[in-house]
A = this chain, B = another copy of it.
């Protein structure tokens, strides 16, 4: 997916919502549990109820991996029902030596056909480059994450420059050299710093988790992070997909998504 297509899709829908498919079998409504693949069935109904509102879906791979081989089948089937033109992001947080990252890239981009993958920066250039060698595929590099532990290392400070800033500066260099598209994960729980990342990467898309269950504020995120082509994908997972534990889960998810998109429309 080309960035201009993503921007167009944001303009058309008035939404920069990414829905996180963190599908936990223990939280799937009971009436689905006797079906052959409850995870897929849950996802399918969520997608059907929200696909006019979301510009991206982000399966969190931990949830699929936890189900053993069957989980990967649920994931494959889920990807098939996401309509063309909606971005698919593998929330995988991979990153390894070159030859291993190359294999992860092949898996997510070729085998599963994802548009994007989240990548952890700790191992540096050769752990990220194999993902960026794909034209029209995306990396969302962890910069400033939304969890409490973000403070442990992301603020390690070299002559006034925190580690997360170095990650973004290096990332911008790498993106110049390689054909793929590079965005950054910047947590909604620290909106004041999203503006700093925006200064460093004026054109990049940010994938912003932490609105909803983790407490981030959409308005602040937009104020700090938006650029002329929006440049944001704000993710909500649990707040949408578990909006109701009952048979009306898909309807309730739609209602929650509508609420967020309503706010987004007023912010674009």
| A contacts, CB < 8 Å to B | 22, 60, 62-63, 65-66, 68-70, 72-73, 76, 91, 93-98, 100-101, 103-104, 106-107, 111, 120-128, 142, 145-154, 156-158, 163, 166-167, 170, 209, 214
Contact = CB atoms under 8 A, between A and B. Distances in A.
Contact of A124 (B22, B66, B151, B214): B151
Given A62-B96, A68-B76, A120-B120, A125 B103 contact: no
A128 B147 CA distance: 12
Given A68-B111, A111-B66, A142 B166 contact: no
Contacts of A95: 93, 120
A107 B70 CA distance: 13
A15 B60 CA distance: 39
A121 to B, nearest CB: 6
A123 B147 contact: yes
Of A63, A147, A150, which is in contact with the most chain B CB atoms at under 10 Å from its CB?
A: A147
Given A93-B96, A103-B66, A111-B68, A156 B158 contact: yes
A88 to B, nearest CB: 16
Given A153-B167, A167-B153, A124 B148 contact: yes
Contact of A127 (B97, B147, B167): B147
Given A68-B72, A97-B209, 12 more contacts: A63-B100, A65-B103, A69-B69, A69-B76, A93-B95, A95-B120, A97-B147, A120-B122, A120-B123, A121-B153, A122-B154, A126-B149
A134 to B, nearest CB: 15
Given A93-B94, A96-B93, A124 B103 contact: no
Contact of A147 (B70, B124, B150, B158): B124
A46 to B, nearest CB: 18
Contacts of A121: 122, 152-153
Contacts of A154: 122, 124
